A and B are shown apart, each in its own frame.
Chain A
C-alpha cells in the first residue's frame, strides 16, 4: 500500500502548512462594495464603500426596532499622487484586509474624468482583485459623497446603482467595455451620470438615493461634456441603449398627444464606402405600445395608427439627428463608435484613412432611417373619459 502511505504523508505534511500561506477568513476581510475616484488639489482620491458585517447581523433579534436595511456600510477615503498610492494609503486606514473582489460599482467623478480615464482603467484592470464587469458610472458631485449615501431602500448605495444599471436606465458600461471603448478606434466613451437626489426634509443628509440623470461623454479618454435630455435620448438611441422609455408623440391635426412606451428599439450601423465616398447608414427599428392618449383620436382606426407610426418615426429621427449634430458639428467627436464599424467592415480602407478620421468624421454623410410599429394600444381602445359619440 505504497500509494496509501504516500497519500497519508501528503495529507500530514499539508497540515503543517495550515495557518500560514494565503488563508484569509471572511472575518478578516473588509469587503468593498463600491469604489469612488475623485481628483482634488492635484491628487487622486480613492474612496471605498466597506460593508460592516456587525451592523446587519441578527435581523431577527432587533426585529422591529426601526432599524432599516441601511446603515451597513461605511466609507473611507485616501489621497495619493496616483490611484495606486491612494489605494496603498487607504489600507492603512482600515483594520482589515481590503477586499476588492466584490466591488461591483466604480464611480468616477467628472473632475477625475478630466484627468483622463486611462490611469484608472489601467489600474483597475491590472490590480488583481477588481472585477472586469464592475459597472462604471460618472458623477457630477464627488464620488465620495455618492458612496456615503445610505439608501433607505437598498442595503447600500452600491446596490442601488447596480440595480439601476441592470434595469438599463442608462448606458450600463462595465470596466472591460469602458477600456475597450477608449482603446477603440474612436477613443470615446459614454457613461451614465449620477446625481444625489435631494433627501426628504425629515431624513438625514445621507438618507437618500443616487439618481441617474444625463450622460457624460468622454473624448480620447478625457471628460468632455455632459448631455441631458432631450439630446441624451438621441445619444442612447445611437448607441443602441435606449430602453424603457415613454416618449410623447403629437399627431398633426389633433389636440393633445400620445405617449408611447417603447418595447424594443434596435439601432444598427451599416457603413458603406462607394467610390471612395464614405457613408454611414443608421437603421432604427422600434416597436412600442400606446400608454396615454389625450387626443380624441380612436386607435381602432388603422389610418390613425399609421399616422401615429409616422409621427413616432419622425420623433425618433429627430432625436437621432440631434445627437448626430451634437457629435459631428459641435463636438467633432465620434461618440457612437462609427470608426469601429468602418474598421470592422472595411479593414483595408480604414487602415489607409485612419489618420484622417478626425477630420473626416464631422463631414461624414449619415443617413438615418427609422421603422416603427405600434404593437398595441394599451388596455383601452378608444380615448377614455369622453362620451362615446364624440369620439371619432
Chain B
C-alpha cells in the first residue's frame, strides 16, 4: 500500500463513524472515482457507504443495499451481525482500515455504521469484461472455440466448467505493489507432482514487482533461467489446453487482467505440440507432429546450412542443383552470408511491421514486402532466387510452431548460427548445434529437465513425443 503506511493499515476501525470516515477520506484523497455516501438508516443511525464507481454495480447497490436500509426499514439492527436481510451473497466483516481499502479497490461496497467497530463488505462487483471469444493467437480447426478473457472470475469458471471435480484446486495470491493483481494457482490434486505447489507458492511470494500487466511479468520472475531464449512456461489463451495440461500433472497460473495463463513445468516437446493433435485423426496428428519437429529444426538451421554448403562444401550439392544455384548467384554482388543476413533481417522487419499495423494495412504491407523482396530484388540481381526460397521456407517453418514463444528462440538463434556457418562452414553449424543442445540439456523448468522424456529418457513419456498416446485412457 503506497498511500497508507503500514501502521495505518493495521489501524482498527473505531466505534465512531466520523473518525473512520475521516481516515478513509484521507486515504482516498484525490480519487474521484471513490464515492462516500453518507445517509441515515431508518433507525436514525448514521451510516457511510464507500465504493468505487467503476467497479461497483451501482444499480444493485441501490436496490439491494441502500434502499432496504434507508426506506423500507427491513433494516439492520446495529448490533446484529450477519445482516441476513440484505440480499447479497458472501458478505464479510471488515475490521481494519487496510481491509476496508482493499475491499473498496476490489469493487466491494463497504458499509460503516456509527457505533460499530467493524464494517461490512458487500461484493457487488461490476468488472468491465467481455464474453469469451475464440483466441486470435491460437485458433484450431476442430476444438473448443472459447478463450480466456481479462476477467479472472470468467477464466476460473471456464476451467471449472471443464473439470467438475473437487480435486481441481484454486489458490489465489496477490502480486504487485501497485496493481494488486490476483494470480490464481490452479492444479488438480492427486495428479500434480508433490512439492510443486509449495515450490510455486514460494517463488510467487518472492516476486517483488510493481505491477502485472501481462503474464510475462510473472513468468520472468519465477522461471529457473530467465536469460534463456527458450520459453520455460507455456502461455495460452485456451481453457482446453490448460485443462489438458492440468491432467498431465502440470499447474497453471491464471492472472487477472490478461487472457494469457501460464503452464509449467514444460519440456521442449510440449512446445511443439498443439491441442489439435488429440482432436484429429491419430495418423494425421502423428504426421503433422513430425512435420513440426522437422520444420522446427529447419527454422533454426536452414539458412545456416545453405550458407555453409554454398560457401564451403560445394561438392555436397547435387550437380544439377549446383548448376542452377550457380546460375542464379552469378550476378549477385554479396557473399552468401551477407545475402542471407540481409534477407533474414528484412523478413523479420516485415513480420514486425505486419504485426503492429492495423489489420487492413497489415495485409498491404505483406503484399508490398513479398513483391519487393520476392520479385524486384531477384530481378534487380541483388538477391538470388534460391535464397528467397530458403528464407520463405524458414519463415513458414517458424510459423508452424504452435507456441509463438517457442519460435522466438529459433528466430533469434538463427542469426548467430548463420554467422557461424559463414565463418566456419558446417563445422560452425555443428558447433552452434552443440552449444544449443548443451544449453537445452542444462535447462530446467520448475526442476524438470527441459529435454525430458528424450534426455533423461523415459519410455512412457517418449511415446507421446514420437507418436501420440491415446488421450488419457485409464
Chain A residues engaging chain B, CB cutoff 8 angstroms: 1, 3-4, 7, 11, 14-15, 17-18, 21-27, 29, 31, 33, 51, 53-54, 56-57, 99, 101-102, 104, 129, 131, 155
- Contact A102-B332, Cβ < 8 Å, known A18-B419, A21-B423: no
Q: In whole angstroms, how far apart are the Cα atoms of A102 and B313 in the complex?
A: 11
Q: Is the CB of B335 within 8 A of A53?
A: no
Q: In whole angstroms, how far apart are the Cα atoms of A24 and B322 in the complex?
A: 14
Contact of A56 among B315, B323, B423, B428 (CB under 8 A): B323
Q: Is the CB of B329 within 8 A of A155?
A: no
Q: Is the interface of B mostly helix, strand, loop or mixed?
A: helix
Q: In whole angstroms, how far apart are the Cα atoms of A258 and B424 in the complex?
A: 64
- Contact A104-B319, Cβ < 8 Å, known A29-B326, A53-B327, A53-B330: yes
Chain B residues with Cβ below 8 Å from A17 are 423-424
Q: Is the CB of B315 within 8 A of A102?
A: yes
| Tally of contact residues, B, Cβ under 8 A | 30
Q: Is the CB of A53 within 8 A of B423?
A: no
> Quick one: which of A17, A18, A22, A51 has the most chain B CB within 10 A?
A18
Q: Is the CB of B311 within 8 A of A25?
A: yes
* Residues 301-329 of B at the A interface (beta carbon under 8 Å): 310-312, 314-315, 317, 319, 322-323, 325-329
Residue of B nearest to A155 (CB): B323
Q: Is the interface of A mostly helix, strand, loop or mixed?
A: mixed
Asked if B29 is at the interface of the complex by the 8 Å CB criterion, the answer is: no
Q: Is the CB of A53 within 8 A of B326?
A: yes
Residue of A nearest to B328 (CB): A57
Contact of A51 among B326, B329, B422, B424 (CB under 8 A): B326
Q: Could you tell me the distance in whole angstroms from the C-beta of A153 to the nearest C-beta in chain B?
A: 15
Chain A residues with Cβ below 8 Å from B323 are 31, 51, 53, 56, 155
Chain B residues with Cβ below 8 Å from A29 are 314, 326
Asked if B94 is at the interface of the complex by the 8 Å CB criterion, the answer is: no
Q: Could you tell me the distance in whole angstroms from the C-beta of B374 to the nearest C-beta in chain A?
A: 15
Q: Is the CB of B310 within 8 A of A26?
A: yes
Contact of B428 among A3, A14, A25, A101 (CB under 8 A): A14
Residue of B nearest to A99 (CB): B314
Q: Is the CB of A15 within 8 A of B423?
A: yes
Q: Is the CB of A11 within 8 A of B420?
A: yes
Q: In whole angstroms, how far apart are the Cα atoms of A197 and B235 in the complex?
A: 70
Chain A residues with Cβ below 8 Å from B331 are 57
Asked if B439 is at the interface of the complex by the 8 Å CB criterion, the answer is: yes
Q: In whole angstroms, how far apart are the Cα atoms of A15 and B422 in the complex?
A: 9
Asked if B458 is at the interface of the complex by the 8 Å CB criterion, the answer is: no
Q: Which 6 pairs show the lowest CB-CB distances between chains A and B?
A: A101-B315, A53-B330, A53-B326, A18-B423, A57-B327, A14-B423
Q: In whole angstroms, how far apart are the Cα atoms of A56 and B439 in the complex?
A: 46
Asked if B337 is at the interface of the complex by the 8 Å CB criterion, the answer is: yes
Q: Is the CB of A26 within 8 A of B325?
A: yes
Q: In whole angstroms, how far apart are the Cα atoms of A29 and B336 in the complex?
A: 14
Q: Is the CB of B330 within 8 A of A27?
A: yes
Asked if B435 is at the interface of the complex by the 8 Å CB criterion, the answer is: yes
Q: Is the CB of A56 within 8 A of B311?
A: no
Asked if B78 is at the interface of the complex by the 8 Å CB criterion, the answer is: no
Q: Is the CB of B311 within 8 A of A23?
A: yes
Q: Is the CB of A102 within 8 A of B335?
A: no
Contact of B322 among A1, A7, A26, A129 (CB under 8 A): A26
Q: In whole angstroms, how far apart are the Cα atoms of A53 and B329 in the complex?
A: 9
Q: Could you tell me the distance in whole angstroms from the C-beta of A136 to the nearest C-beta in chain B?
A: 17
Q: In whole angstroms, how far apart are the Cα atoms of A319 and B310 in the complex?
A: 50
Chain B residues with Cβ below 8 Å from A7 are 416, 435
Chain B residues with Cβ below 8 Å from A23 are 311-312, 335, 422-423
Q: Is the CB of B319 within 8 A of A27?
A: no
Q: Is the CB of A101 within 8 A of B422?
A: no
Chain B residues with Cβ below 8 Å from A102 are 314-315, 317, 319, 322
Residue of B nearest to A54 (CB): B330
Residue of A nearest to B311 (CB): A23
Contact of B422 among A1, A4, A18 (CB under 8 A): A18
Chain A residues with Cβ below 8 Å from B337 are 18
Q: Is the CB of A1 within 8 A of B332?
A: no
Residue of B nearest to A13 (CB): B423
- Contact A24-B311, Cβ < 8 Å, known A15-B423, A31-B323: yes
- Contact A1-B227, Cβ < 8 Å, known A21-B423, A25-B336, A53-B326: yes
- Contact A11-B319, Cβ < 8 Å, known A23-B311, A27-B330, A101-B314: no
Chain B residues with Cβ below 8 Å from A155 are 323
Q: In whole angstroms, how far apart are the Cα atoms of A131 and B322 in the complex?
A: 15
Q: Is the CB of B326 within 8 A of A31?
A: yes
Residue of A nearest to B324 (CB): A56
Chain A residues with Cβ below 8 Å from B227 are 1, 4
Q: In whole angstroms, how far apart are the Cα atoms of A102 and B325 in the complex?
A: 13
> Quick one: which of A51, A57, A99, A129 has the most chain B CB within 10 A?
A57
Chain A residues with Cβ below 8 Å from B317 are 102
Q: Is the CB of A26 within 8 A of B329?
A: yes
Chain B residues with Cβ below 8 Å from A27 are 326, 329-330, 332
